[in-house]
Structure 1
């Protein structure tokens, strides 16, 4: 009788041990699944959006290469900033690393912010303003344009060379800056594009002629030329912006690791200007991004490691 009871007891104990082990294994598996889920690729097709600012184009192509290293298939849509924002809001694209806030893209952010998620800061303290070559020694302030100092208006045919009409800086210049200084009475803000503006600036500098352009940092022209942003005593351009990344609602859940990579991504103004200068010198956008990563081998690893170790 005792032997029979002992045998049954041993069997019962062994079954309990096995069940406990299975439970622990299942718990461990669940924990691993949770961790892997936080860093899973999720939806592997990622659509990045950028406007026509060369600084944003360069940054976007660096992010593209890092996302592809992680296993994503990435396409870039380059368009006007207004379409960029609306595309993020309606889900046509997934994310951007080129939102200038709180000033430059304020009107777009206010319109679409309920459909967007701000992710993280990409570049700190970027400036924008009316800019001239430093050899224009007599022109130091926007007020000098308003006062037509040294007949600068006649010399420039009362024209400020701008970029694409939908750009945040153009809207700010035309809607806030020019009326505040009285420039809207005589001066014209001429729309063009970023490359066209830069070409006009280059031609003027080659001939040492006067020119006033809408410009910003980071921009490759500050690496190549001696330029000065005109003083803005009324602070109508506002304090320097920061550049942020943002995404459509739901992107974090749909592509968890891509979201974390973008959150971990940042560039200094100098790094961005180096990329921009290579693009301007003839490299394709992707070639310039590859060169940057080759010259900074730790950059990609730092972003990926930070993303994969993040709990959010």
Structure 2
């Protein structure tokens, strides 16, 4: 005769289901926190440079998706970026190139802001040329062809000025690299040379066209930047050290932000990433060629959860 086993009491089944649900929910990734529209937004100013766009959008994504803090991005120029944070018209900037490139801005405004230190190490600015050869990579003898650009240092530009049309292709006139280039023109006695103004996009287009046509060109450049991953480029040597050595990109915030928005301040104070990290996001922005830089920042954030968690924990 079979022995009848009574079913477990209903309360035990309910308890088991609740525990299973808790296990499943714990294993799932934590959902993004919607930014609270009632909270005061954090105001970030940035410059229309690939590096500045990448860092500003990434920080916005972390603030809004992970901390629930609304964020407003404002594009401006390098000098206005410093002035706005110092005057309290903006809360933060993530693109302060120190100690050399933005030295003039720092001398004027550093006493009126809080410098949280570098968010990226090993940056560099200077004059950049493409390293491509004339014609095919090798001659019929198997020997390497003469390089298209023979200048190796800024000093050499005096010798090869005609090859470059006595022209350096630059970006926005108030950028730190442009200030340094104007000094370099004097220090290296590059008489008759002109520094063309524009923006990063126009500079990159001229560089791309010159490389495609095998034409000589010298541009104002900086690293990290996606163009170094796309083409073979080199900085011209700077024996007079006008542009300085390796730079750091600092996070700078307005006075009082720590008291007014401590959670946002804590995150900004911990925000650190590498040149390789930034170049990955910049390359995604380049490849997508669309306006959705914020979407690419969200993608980067999802791909690097440990890094992001270290910033907000």
TM-score (norm 1): 0.80
Pick from 207, 216, 230 the counterpart of residue 210 of structure 1.
216
1:96 matched to which residue of 2? 93
1:34 matched to which residue of 2? none
Q: Secondary structure at the match of 1:127?
A: strand
2:309 matched to which residue of 1? 301
Give me the CA root mean square deviation: 1.4
Pick from 221, 240, 245 the counterpart of residue 246 of structure 2.
240
Structure 1: give runs of 5+ residues left out of the alignment.
Answer: 1-41, 306-312
1:194 matched to which residue of 2? 200
What does 1:202-281 correspond to in 2, within 5 Å? Answer: 202-281=208-287
* Bigger radius of gyration: 1
2:149 touches 2:216 (CA, 8 Å); kept in 1? no
**How many pairs align?**
258
2:22 matched to which residue of 1? none
Stretch of structure 1 that moved more, 74-83 or 294-303: 294-303
Q: Deviations over 1:201-256 (max 9, x none)?
A: 11111112111000000011001111000001111111211111010111111000
CA distance in 1, matches of 2:246, 2:180: 13
CA distance in 2, matches of 1:220, 1:57: 12
2:39 touches 2:70 (CA, 8 Å); kept in 1? no
Q: Deviations over 1:84-122 (max 9, x none)?
A: 111101111101111001111111111111210101211
1:261 touches 1:303 (CA, 8 Å); kept in 2? yes
TM-score (norm 2): 0.80
Structure with bigger helix share is 1
Runs of 4+ in 1 over 4 A off after TM superposition: none
Pick from 131, 140, 158 the counterpart of residue 166 of structure 2.
158
1:119 matched to which residue of 2? 116
Report the alpha carbon displacement of residue 43 of structure 1 after superposing the two structures with TM. Answer: 6.0
User: Structure 1 residues 265 and 76, CA, compared in 2 at 3 Å: closer, same or farther?
Assistant: same
